[in-house]
Amino acid sequence: MILPYLTEIQCLTTSLDVIHSFSIPGLGIKIDAIPGRLNSVNFQINHPGTYYGQCAEICGTGHSFIPI
């Protein structure tokens, strides 16, 4: 995913099955994805670069194979 920097970004999450948690440690962002609920987080990227995401909630047997 390519995102602009020095711009406010809104991320919306939900889930269709179990609780997930979307995390980008390099940006200090973590947001839960909960079935039946729409969660929102706003953030700004201050420096261009490559940032890696990860699932931060153990969500099932395939948890370690969920690249973000």
Q: Is residue 49 part of a domain?
A: yes
Say which CATH number the domain at 31 has. 2.60.40.420
Of the candidates 25, 30, 31, 27, the one whose C-alpha atom is nearest the C-alpha of residue 46 is 27
The count of structural domains within the chain is 1
Q: Is residue 65 part of a domain?
A: no
Q: Is residue 40 part of a domain?
A: yes
Query: Residue 15 is part of which domain span?
Result: 8-58
Task: Inform me whether the pLDDT recorded for 68 exceeds 70.
Answer: no
Q: pTM of this prediction?
A: 0.75
In tens, the pLDDT along 30-61 reads 999 999 999 999 999 999 999 988 888 777 77
In tens, the pLDDT along 17-37 reads 999 898 999 999 999 999 999
Find all residues with CB under 8 Å of 17, minimum gap 6, and list them. Answer: 35
Q: Is residue 54 part of a domain?
A: yes
